[in-house]
Structure 1
C-alpha cells in the first residue's frame, strides 16, 4: 500500500530547514532533519531518524525506512516544523 504524503507539507518543511537550519556538508539541519537538494534543484531530500524522503519532479516521491515507528517520528518532526510558529517576542 502506498503512503500518500502531503508533498506541499514536506516542501514547506524543506523550506523551513533551509531557512533556519545549521549548515551541514550537504545541506542544512534543523530539529534532527537534514534537508538537501541536487545541483539543479529538481530533487529534494529530507533525512532523519533513519528515514529518507526524496521528492522529485512533479511531486513524485520515495520514502524509505526500516521501521514504522521511525517513519512516525520523522513525520511528527516534519509536522512540528510546518506548524505556524507563534511569535512571542523571544528570539
Structure 2
C-alpha cells in the first residue's frame, strides 16, 4: 500500500492527542486514535481499531492494516485531530 504522509502533521497531531486526550495503559487517546511513544522517544505509534501507523527515526513510516481503506481512514482521523485541536 502506497501512502503519502505529512510527517510534521502526524507529529503535531501526536502532541495534540497527548495534550488533550485521555491517558491509556500505553499512551493517550483522543477521538478514537491512540498515540503511543517508545521509551526512547525515537518512534511513535498512532492507531485506531483497524489500522496502525508506525513513525520511526529519520521520518520513516509504515502502516499495518487489513485494507488500504482502513489506513486511509486512520490518516484522515489524524488529520482531523490536527485540524481541530
Q: Same fold (TM over 0.5)?
A: yes
TM (normalized to structure 2)? 0.90
Query: What residue number does 1:37 align with?
Result: 37
Conserved? CA contact 1:23–1:29, under 8 Å: yes
- Structure 1 runs (4+) deviating above 3 angstroms are none
- For residues 72 and 38 of structure 1, the distance between their equivalents in structure 2, rounded to whole angstroms, comes to 23
Greater helix proportion? 2
Structure showing greater radius of gyration is 1
Any idea what the Cα deviations from partners look like across 1:43-62, whole Å, max 9, x if unmatched?
11101141101111110111
Conserved? CA contact 1:22–1:28, under 8 Å: yes
TM (normalized to structure 1)? 0.84
Q: Which has the higher contact order (CA 8 A, sep 6+)?
A: 2
Q: How many residues are aligned here? A: 85
For structure 2, which runs of at least 5 residues remain unmatched after alignment?
A: none
